[in-house]
Structure 1
Amino acid sequence: MSNIVYLNGEYVAADEAKISPNDRGFLFADGVYEVAKYYYGKAFRFQDHLDRLNRSLKEIGIEYDTEKLEAVFMELIQKNDMADKHAGIYLQISRGTAKRSHHFPDEIAPTVYAYAFDLPSATEKLENGIKVITRDDIRWQRCDIKSVSLLPNTMLYNEAHQSGAGECILIRDGKVTEATHSSVLCVKNGIVVTRPLSNLILPGITRKVIMELCAANNIPVEERPYSEEELYEMDEVFIAGTGSEICPVVQIEDQLLGNGKPGEITRLLQKLFFELV
């Protein structure tokens, strides 16, 4: 039985959903996306995801009323029998279909596509931690926009996958930015360290939650650039994202981090995060 997806105002079987080959999302990666997580039928930080989506749409000049999406997402959860599990909703909005041109066409309707999928917590990784690799950040200069143009991300993550690692941490001009599909946070001398928001990183929702948890629990935070050399010297490193949740990093390339086990502050933040969930 085919899953039910949402496409341009209709709920249809996934194998019946059709998008024009002249859609600008296909031709130019001219669109944005979001991924929200539902824990047993309840959305986690939905408004934050909606706010980020609206910002991405505004930055690339697509007009679309996103207020209906909460009901659309819930309908997808229900129609696909996912209210009793951990599930994700993927949403993509492209500029729409038009004759191929490098300028933005006037008055075309956006293409809006969404589907539900299983998104269980990666229990073993959350418990034991993962290995990561590091690579040069070869992405564009507007990483704050959640663009569907993810070829550099997928190329770099594929290198991690092929080397048996769980993520790839990105380095630009000698400084850590983020990972291919997650934020990077570290701990040094009891202080959580993370790069400040800018055009070079995505404003992660889970990152935002962690900052709130730190503030509420008197865990000091420094938002500052830090080097690749500092990364190897951190007491703890973890990645954070809607799918990753809060996942410890225990090895960078061939070097174990500390004793090769998740650190105390990482464990505390995991505990606080899942209590909030």
Structure 2
Amino acid sequence: MSRIAYVNGRYVPQRHASVNVEDRGYQFGDGIYEVVHLYGGRFVDEDRHLDRLERSLREIRLPMPLSRQALSHVLLEVARRNRVTEGLLYMQVTRGVARRDHPFPAEPVAPALVVTVKRIKPYPRSIDGWGGDAITLPDLRWARRDIKSLNLLPNVLARQAAREQGAIEAILYEEESGFVTEGAATTFWIVDEAGRIRTRPLSHDILPGCTRGALMAELRQAAISYDETPFTLEDLARAREAFITSATSFVKPILRIDGRPVGDGAPGPVTRRLFDIFSRHVTGALKNAA
């Protein structure tokens, strides 16, 4: 069956889907995107993703392309038409089509909306075999990383560098301070040498991860403490455990960083417990709320 995409009000075969060459997303990266996990026919943390979409759009002064209710209908319809119940949905909103010029179009144009979905492998039943290695790289991205924009070239280069070294993620850090920011496409966490779960606090420096927020809500529900405190590469080198979170990684252990094992080089007890907690969140055994 041909995959179906939603493009500016029309459901079309994806192989025929196209956007105008003067779409500002194509020419300037002037837009926002979201990726949502679809499990059992429902979107995991849909409200969190739509909240973040709306926030990012506000930050770049771009209106929602549809009402929230209408957008939710489109997302479900794309999944339905593609007969996908376990997958990843991608949505992208740009400032639309206008003559190429850096400032916003002098005359308002309609935002452009594209939605696609693809099947993925089933949610992992076990943490064993789910982890991977990472490398560290200087964070070369722009200063507003809290906006989920289309400008991903530094992320692309970091992920490619990781792949070339047999790793699944690049852990980014500030060159001057040595403080870790996040993964190239994930939130990064450690269990430090004192046993504390730590991740960087929200600011313009990192993306407010939806999986990050959902996991924190589950930790509070389970009365498991965590610290939103910065940590350095030196702290990372002494960490007992490390893991990443995202809509595609869920809770994924990092076993080696720059060729050195984290802890004993196997998923640790804290990461195992958090993987189990988040698995129940995804599958619906725990409340899956925004």
Secondary structure of 1:211's aligned partner? helix
Distance 1:35-1:4 versus aligned 2 partners, 3 A rule: same
**Once the 2 structures are TM-superposed, how far is the Cα of residue 66 of structure 1 from its aligned partner?**
4.1
- Contact 2:245-2:251 at 8 Å conserved across structures: yes
Aligned equivalents of 1:218, 1:111: Cα separation in 2: 43
Aligned AA (1:157): R
2:266 paired residue number = 261
CA contact (8 A) 1:50 1:66 kept: no
Which residue in the other structure is 1:113 paired with? 114
Instruction: Name the counterpart of 1:71.
Output: 73
Point out where structure 1 has 5 or more consecutive residues left out of the alignment: none
Of the three residues 192, 199, 208, the one matched with 2:204 is 199
Which one of the candidate residues 235, 247, 253 is aligned to 1:230? 235
CA deviations on 1:93-130 (whole Å, 9 max, x unpaired) are 01000011111013111110010111335749942321
Letter in 1 for 2:184: T
Residue type matched to 2:202 in 1? L
- The Cα shift of 1:2 comes to 2.5
Q: For residues 231 and 244 of structure 1, what CA distance do their matches in structure 2 show?
A: 20
How far apart are the structure 2 equivalents of 1:87 and 1:229? 37
Matching residue's letter, 2:121: P
* Structure 2 contact 145–205 (Cα < 8 Å) conserved: yes
**Residue 25 (1) aligns with residue 25 (2):** yes
1:168 partnered with 2:170: yes
Residues 258/43 of structure 1: CA separation in 2 closer, same or farther (3 Å cut): same
The answer for the alignment partner of 1:93 in structure 2 is: 93
**TM-score between both structures, scaled by the size of structure 1:** 0.96
Structure-2 separation of matches of 1:66 and 1:139: 31
C-alpha separation in 2, matches of 1:125 and 1:66: 39
Contact 2:127–2:272, Cα closer than 8 Å, also in 1: no
Gaps of 5+ in 2: 283-290
**Whole-angstrom distance in 2 between the partners of 1:120 and 1:208:** 24
- TM-score normalised by the chain length of structure 2: 0.92
Q: How many matched pairs?
A: 275
Q: Note the aligned Cα RMSD (angstroms).
A: 1.4
Aligned AA (1:142): R
Distance 1:30 1:239 in 2: 28
Structure 2 residue aligned with 1:80:
82
Query: For residue 63 of structure 1, what is the amino acid of its counterpart?
Result: P
Q: Which residue of 1 aligns with 2:286?
A: none
Tell me which moved more, 211-220 or 152-161.
211-220
1:205·1:242 contact (CA, 8 Å) conserved in 2? yes
Q: What does 1:10-159 correspond to in 2, within 5 Å?
A: 10-64=10-64, 65-67=66-68, 68-83=70-85, 86-105=86-105, 106-121=107-122, 123=124, 126-128=127-129, 129-159=131-161
* Residue matched to 1:184: 188
- Which of these residues, 250, 253, 262, is aligned with residue 255 of structure 2? 250
SS in 2 for 1:90: strand
| Large movers: runs of 4+ above 6 Å | none
* Aligned amino acid, residue 117 of structure 2: A
Identity of aligned residues (%): 38
- Among 276, 281, 285, the alignment partner of 1:276 is 281
**Deviation, structure 1 residue 275:** 1.0
Deviations 1:11-43 (A, max 9, x none): 001122121111100110000000011102111
**Mapped contact 2:197–2:226 kept (Cα < 8 A):** yes
